[in-house]
Structure 1
Amino acid sequence: MRTWQVVRRRRTRHLIELGGLVVRAGIVDLTGDDRAIILGALLWMADKLQSDQREQARALWAAKGKRAFEADPATHKGADR
């Protein structure tokens, strides 16, 4: 397999995993699959991460995410990403 194919497959897998997190969090259902709302929420997160509240937001979100991973042993292996 060519190097570019390996890189492309790795990137595709990563994007699929990120999409799975959006679904798992219930965002798709809660927004009615409205991509403008989803993008707006992600942009809001990015703004928080660029603000003086960065560390507080990261700590809060990391704790919530770790609890969610721990609640489902099948996905616990992904908690360290």
Structure 2
Amino acid sequence: MKRRERTRQLIELGGLVAKAGLVELTDDDRAAILGILIEAAAKLRARDGADREQLVAIWRRRGRRAFSEDEVGPR
């Protein structure tokens, strides 16, 4: 991956962390945010096959819902 592409990816991922509300909820505590992400990764590692895919599907639906709410705007 080229440097510019990597930089863009990191910026987008940071935006997702902010969009999820983790910055405000943790008072911008970077160690806590990393801990949350490590916990999510551990949950994925602890599951296999269909269980893992089901968890990812749940998280994907929540994410898509959050993206679509932004397109519609606040209610």
Matched, 1:64 2:59: no
For residues 35-54 of structure 1, what are the structure 2 equivalents within 5 Å?
A: 35-52=30-47, 53-54=51-52
1:18 matched residue in structure 2? 13
**Unaligned ranges ≥5, structure 2:** none
Q: CA RMSD in A?
A: 1.7
Q: Does the residue aligned with 1:61 lie in a helix, a strand or coil?
A: helix
Give me the whole-angstrom Cα distance separating, in 2, the residues matched to 1:56 and 1:45: 14
Deviation string, structure 1 residues 1-37 (Cα, Å, up to 9, x no partner): xxxxx81111000100000000111100000111111
TM-score by length of 2: 0.83
Give me the whole-angstrom Cα distance separating, in 1, the residues matched to 2:8 and 2:30: 21
Seq. identity, %: 57
TM-score by length of 1: 0.77
How many residues are matched? 69
Q: Does the residue aligned with 1:70 lie in a helix, a strand or coil?
A: helix
Matched, 1:34 2:29: yes
**Unaligned ranges ≥5, structure 1:** 1-5, 75-81
Q: State the 1:55 CA deviation.
A: 2.2
